[in-house]
Chain A
Amino acid sequence: MSYEKELEKFCQKHPDALVLTAENRALIRNLPGVLGSRFVDTGITEQTMVGMAAGLALQGRRVVCHALAAFLTMRAFEFVRTDVGIPGLPVKFTGFIPGLLSDANGATHQAIEDMALMLGIPGMEVYCPADLEDMLLMCQAVWESPKPAYLRAVHLSSGLQHKPYVPGLAEWMLEGPADVVFLVAGMLLPEVMKAASILEKSGIRVAVANMRSLRPLDEHALRQACTWGALVVCVEDHFQRGGLTSLFKEWLAENMGSLQASGTSLPEVMSISLGHSWFTPGLLADVLRHHRLLGEDVAERVLAWRKERPMAEA
């Protein structure tokens, strides 16, 4: 199965569905021939495409829009917020090459604030699959949801085996009890799994959750992470602010009382993200190495953190 086959299946099920793209066809190259007039390429016009999608949805159409994640979420942001977000129209957005996947394009193409922006729109669902297979498992549910949604597309396979997608639930790749719990949003999951394997060889117990979406947010998984681990590591190819790390810290602050009341110690929180600046462009493997995001780097960074903060080893 491929993304475009999944989309074709969705369009077959829903004869009113339309596929729009702002001349970004990487994931849907064969759909024009299959969908005919239900495939509309608006050219390099992200804001017009989004406005049109709102108008089509107003008419009762199901619309799935495609563009590079950076331009979809930033150039067209006000159209997404105002024309889709305010009325809550169920328009679906697929952002291509988000996060580190823009590899050598440079900062212009880096959508590493995209989740923050989309989460800033009330009601907008935000999906962050870990790899191609994970995305394929969730996309029918994403498109069937009655809410507007942003799908952070991942076109790379990782070889990881995933459990079926259940809306609103994280996928526990490794379960606790654990010394370190990783919460992962997006394509760094394979590296985290490598890091987990390294850490376990050092005698450190590890749990790993593939969050799969930030809205809906699996709050039960967050509580579980606190129950299991003295150190919770939030991993995302996104600025540290506005994505998973921020959400978790906010959730922790809001739930401090109930956690303590239930006898759960508050965990240390570590962020492995893109911090507060754009990343150095290059081929993906080199970028991962440069920014110390490979599995061995992640493991080293966690060990160093634990050494600096004895509380995290408690």
Chain B
Amino acid sequence: MTPQKAIELQKLAFKVRQHILRLSTGGGCFTGASLSCTDLIVYLYASGDFNLGPEKVNDPSRDRIFLSKGHDVPALYATLAELGYFPLERLKNHLKTSDHIYWHPNTHVPGVEFHSGSLGHLPSVALGVALDLKLRGMPNRVVVVAGDGELNEGSVWETLLVASALKLGNYILAVDRNWFQANMRTEELIPLEPLEEKFRAFGCQVRRVNGHDMYKLHHGFSNLDLQGTAPHVVICDTLRGKGVKSLEERADRWFCNFSPAEVEKLVEELHGQADAHLSSEGLVVR
């Protein structure tokens, strides 16, 4: 990855984070989880490492990205809109019944491959796609983005057993390892570590990278043995709320519905102009 490309991606991620904050009002959204996976989503769609683009949404040769942790969809909506999959104006329709820009991904939004929301589903749906592509002898990669809390779901591990048995090297599970689930730290509820060893025990090739560093993400997803017999897992270590100090690593900033004034403070904070001191409602479990 060239320095220019990395800077371009960082700039795009900054814009996406700004959109996420602006979507965190008037009903709100899953702010913290969206901010953690922003760099990963931006890297996957905009780096050029994957065969993707707004002109390819129906192109059979495209790589496939499935967002299984569907509640972080603001990061996806914003990335797709910034890349021209649909007009940026459409983000203003957030939560309106006249559009489909709601709290979980759906295929009414160009670029979304499959709907999600119920955790632990898309690993298996994506596996079916990977199997089809392999049977057809096609080289496309299939990436499914899962949350670390989502790893509580047995269906994720069941799917990895099958992926391993079917020897699907074109299958890549990307984990947004932000160390939080809805209400608390993962290790305080259902400890996941040592995560790499767990995935290896399920027959996967495992890499672990800093999920906020575009160079590291590039290395994490490059030169995977796609023709090999082992499915891949890329664990992306991230921070919940990344980029906005007052939201970072806070269990109570998972789903946020800020006042418009608070959003402006948060945007200023994102720009490094001020620290936001918020008095709004804390955690709202959806």
Contacts and interface: CB of A to CB of B under 8 A. Distances in A.
Interface of A: 37-38, 40, 42-43, 45, 47-59, 61, 78-79, 82-83, 86-87
A61 B121 contact: no
B158 A47 contact: yes
For the residues of A in contact with B, the DSSP-based class is helix
A43 B131 CA distance: 15
B161 A55 contact: no
B132 A48 contact: no
A38 B131 CA distance: 10
Nearest to B159: A48
Interface of B: 107, 113-115, 118, 121-133, 135, 155, 158-159, 161-162, 165-166
Contacts of B113: 58
A42 B135 contact: no
Contacts of A56: 128-129, 131-132
Contact of A87 (B115, B161, B165): B115
A40 to B, nearest CB: 7
B129 A78 contact: no
A51 B123 contact: yes
Contacts of B125: 51-52, 54-55, 58, 83
Given A42-B162, A43-B161, A87-B107, A48 B124 contact: yes
A39 to B, nearest CB: 12
A58 B118 contact: no
A25 to B, nearest CB: 16
Contacts of A43: 161-162, 165
A82 B117 CA distance: 10
A52 B162 contact: yes
Contacts of B165: 42-43
A47 B124 contact: yes
B25 to A, nearest CB: 29
Contacts of A86: 115
A42 B107 CA distance: 27
Contact of B132 (A59, A79, A83): A59
Nearest to B136: A59
Given A37-B135, A42-B162, A52-B162, A47 B126 contact: no
Contacts of A40: 131, 166
B141 to A, nearest CB: 14
B223 to A, nearest CB: 26
Contacts of A53: 128
28 contacts: A40-B166, A42-B162, A45-B162, A47-B124, A48-B155, A48-B159, A50-B124, A51-B123, A51-B125, A52-B124, A52-B127, A52-B131, A54-B114, A55-B114, A55-B124, A55-B130, A55-B131, A55-B132, A56-B131, A58-B129, A78-B121, A79-B124, A82-B115, A83-B114, A83-B124, A87-B107, A87-B114, A87-B115
Given A48-B162, A79-B121, A82-B121, 11 more contacts: A40-B166, A48-B159, A49-B124, A51-B128, A51-B159, A54-B125, A55-B128, A55-B129, A78-B118, A78-B121, A83-B121
